[in-house]
C-alpha cells in the first residue's frame, strides 16, 4: 500500500490532523499520562469527526457555493481554520466547560493530581515542606520557582531557601540562597502560606 498516494494522504490529513491538534492542545492545558499510539490514533479520528460535525454547515456552504474557484485564497484560509484553528478552539472550550461549577457536579475535574492543580495556578506562596525524616524545608515559591507537571515525576524548586525559627516562622533567607530542589519521593506534606504583595525579605510567621 502506497501511503504517499495523494488520496490516502488527504484522508490522513482530514481525519487525523484536526483530532491530533485537539488532543495535543488539551494535553498542554491538562497534562496527563501518555496514551499508546493505537489509542491516540482512534481518539484523533474521533475528535476529527466531532470537529467536522460541528462545522458541517460552514463546510457545506463553502463547497456548494464554488468558493474554491471564485476565491481560492479564502478557500485555503477556511480549511486552515477547519484543520488547525477550530480544533484548538474546541479544546479550549472543553477546558473552560469542564472547570465550571456546573460540570463539576457530575464530572471529575480534568486535572488528575492536586499537585498539578495547585502549581498550575502559578500563585506565589511561602511553602513549608515536611520530609519523611521529619526535617522541614521552608522557602519562597514565586515567579522564578518551578514545579514539575504530569506525566513527569513531581519535583519542586523553591527560588529561596529560608531558615525557620523555633516558633515555625520564616526568619530569614539563607545566606546567598539560590533556592532548593526537592524530590517528591522524600516529601510527606507541602504547606502553603499566602505571599502578599510587597512581601519580600521581611520576617514571615508561619501560621500567622
Summarised one tens digit per residue, pLDDT across range 163-198 is 998 888 898 999 888 999 999 888 999 999 988 755
pLDDT at 153: 86
Read off the pLDDT of residues 124-172 as tens digits, 9 standing for 90 and up: 999 999 999 999 999 999 999 999 887 788 899 999 999 998 888 898 9
* 88: CB partners within 8 A, 6+ apart: 21, 22, 25
- Domain co-membership, 75 together with 120: no
Tally of residues, the chain: 208
Residues 76 and 124 reside in one and the same domain: no
Same domain for 83 and 56: yes
Is the predicted pLDDT of residue 57 greater than 60, yes or no?
A: yes
pLDDT at 208: 44
205 lies in some domain: no
Q: Which domain holds residue 185?
A: 114-194
What's the predicted TM-score (pTM) here? Answer: 0.63
Same domain, residue pair 81 and 139: no
C-alpha span between 81 and 28 (Å, rounded): 20
> Are residues 99 and 155 located together in one domain of the fold?
no
Q: What is the pLDDT of residue 206?
A: 45
How many domains does the chain contain in total? Answer: 2
- My answer on whether omega of the bond before 151 falls inside 30° of 0, hence cis, is yes
- pLDDT at site 197: 59
In the predicted structure, residue 1 carries a pLDDT above the cut 50: no
Residues 85 and 153 in one domain: no
Rg, Å, the chain Cα set: 25
Q: For residue 196, what are the CA distances in angstroms to 125, 160, 169, 203? A: 8, 16, 16, 12
Residues 18 and 72 in one domain: yes
The residue out of 67, 82, 104 marking a domain boundary is 104
Angle CA 39–85–21, to nearest 5: 20
pLDDT in tens, 77-87: 999 999 999 99
The per-residue pLDDT for 204 is: 53
Residue 153 lies inside a defined structural domain of this protein: yes
| Cβ burial 17-50 (10 Å sphere, 16+ → b, else e) | bbbbbbbebbbebbbeeeeeeeebeebbeebbee
- Classify residue 51: in a domain, yes or no: yes
> What is the CATH number for 124?
2.30.30.100
Q: Looking at the structure, tell me whether residues 120 and 187 fall in a common domain.
A: yes
Mean pLDDT computed over every residue of the chain: 84
Note the pLDDT of residue 203: 47
Same domain, 30 and 99: yes
In-domain check, residue 207: no
Confidence band, pLDDT 50/70/90 cuts, at residue 114: confident
Same domain, 99 and 127: no
Same domain membership, residue 91 and residue 30: yes
Determine the Cα–Cα distance for residues 60 and 84; give it in Å rounded to an integer.
18
Mean pLDDT value across residues 69-98: 91
Amino acid at each position: 500500500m502506497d501511503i504517499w498516494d495523494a488520496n490516502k494522504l488527504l484522508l490522513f490529513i482530514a481525519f487525523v490532523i484536526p483530532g491530533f491538534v485537539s488532543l495535543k492542545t488539551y494535553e498542554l492545558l491538562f497534562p496527563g499520562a501518555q496514551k499508546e499510539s493505537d489509542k491516540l490514533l482512534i481518539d484523533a479520528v474521533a475528535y476529527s469527526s466531532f470537529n467536522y460535525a460541528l462545522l458541517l454547515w460552514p463546510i457545506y456552504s463553502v463547497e456548494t457555493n464554488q468558493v474554491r474557484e471564485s476565491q481560492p485564497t479564502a478557500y485555503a484560509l477556511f480549511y486552515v481554520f477547519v484543520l488547525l484553528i477550530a480544533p484548538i478552539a474546541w479544546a479550549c472550550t472543553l477546558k473552560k466547560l469542564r472547570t465550571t461549577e456546573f460540570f463539576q457536579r457530575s464530572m471529575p475535574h480534568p486535572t488528575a493530581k492536586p499537585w498539578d492543580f495547585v502549581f498550575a495556578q502559578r500563585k506565589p506562596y511561602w511553602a513549608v515542606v515536611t520530609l519523611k525524616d521529619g526535617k522541614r524545608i521552608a522557602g519562597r515559591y514565586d515567579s522564578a520557582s518551578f514545579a514539575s507537571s504530569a506525566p513527569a515525576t513531581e519535583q519542586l524548586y523553591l527560588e529561596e531557601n529560608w531558615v525557620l525559627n523555633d516558633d515555625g516562622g520564616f526568619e530569614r533567607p539563607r545566606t546567598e540562597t539560590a533556592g532548593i530542589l526537592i524530590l517528591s519521593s522524600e516529601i510527606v506534606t507541602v504547606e502553603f502560606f499566602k505571599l502578599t504583595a510587597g512581601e519580600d525579605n521581611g520576617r514571615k510567621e508561619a501560621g500567622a
